[in-house]
Chain A
Amino acid sequence: AAGVIQSPRHLIKEKRETATLKCYPIPRHDTVYWYQQGPGQDPQFLISFYEKMQSDKGSIPDRFSAQQFSDYHSELNMSSLELGDSALYFCASSLGRGTSGYNEQFFGPGTRLTVL
């Protein structure tokens, strides 16, 4: 079965550069979540989208922005990168439309960002 796809899998950037991470949800999933996991830390919720609109926002820095496109894929744009942005960035997708209660989130493999 198709799973959540993230690209790139690894990314190395210099301080003050920009980075774009991409997430392709499972077909027919309309909700995307982004999480950041620093070294030795738990995954922290950044932002989510439902039907191409931002649905919730967590601890996402102002330097970061994200959007969900008409094909439901999502991109996380990170500018003025700092050393502390080095982390594993997970994307998860779920089906939010027409459902109530918790909808299982399916995770991608993550993008490991290293800022030098």
Chain B
Amino acid sequence: AQRVTQPEKLLSVFKGAPVELKCNYSYSGSPELFWYVQYSRQRLQLLLRHISRESIKGFTADLNKGETSFHLKKPFAQEEDSAMYYCALSTDTGANSKLTFGKGITLSVRP
């Protein structure tokens, strides 16, 4: 069975500091990896997915199959980045794309 591990529950940094949110996964095949974000009082929303290789709001994440990791990075954190971040994976496609989530990490960016 697949599993997603986010080893830290909370990361607190000052504005302008670099951020790295760690995510490791276990799955024998080739999953699709995602980062979801939940801002205060808002719903979960997709931040980015590994297959698109985009940079969203300055965040990037590279899938490292050798280390089975998908860490989320941003070189200079902003206060508006404060939120809950979930790493997730999907092993299926189409209408069966259920997500397996990690436990999430709270990012707090202080002024």
Does B69 count as interface, using CB distance less than 8 angstroms?
A: no
Tell me the count of chain B residues lying within 8 A, CB to CB, of chain A. 23
5 contacts between A and B (CB under 8 A): A33-B98, A40-B103, A43-B44, A103-B94, A107-B45
B residues near A25, Cβ cutoff 8 Å: none
For B101, list chain A residues within 8 Å (CB): 35, 42-44
Residue of B43, B92, B97, B99 with most chain A CB atoms under a 10 A cut-off: B97
Residues of chain B contacted by A3 (CB below 8 angstroms): 43
A79 at the interface (CB under 8 A from B): no
Q: Is the CB of A102 within 8 A of B98?
A: no
Q: Is A74 interfacial (CB-CB < 8 Å)?
A: no
Question: A86 within 8 Å of B by Cβ?
Answer: no
Q: Which residues of B contact A (CB under 8 A)?
A: 4, 32, 43-46, 49, 51, 86, 90, 92-104
Q: Is A90 an interface residue (CB 8 A)?
A: yes
Can you add 14 more A-B contacts, CB < 8 Å, to A42-B103, A106-B45, A109-B43? A35-B101, A42-B101, A42-B102, A43-B86, A43-B99, A44-B101, A48-B98, A51-B95, A96-B94, A99-B94, A101-B94, A104-B49, A107-B44, A107-B45
In contact, B51 and A102 (Cβ under 8 angstroms): yes
Contact call B95/A96, Cβ cutoff below 8 A: yes
Choose among A42, A55, A90, A108 the residue that contacts B95 (Cβ–Cβ < 8 A): A55
* Contact present for B32 and A102 (CB under 8 Å): yes
Cβ contacts under 8 Å, A71 to chain B: none
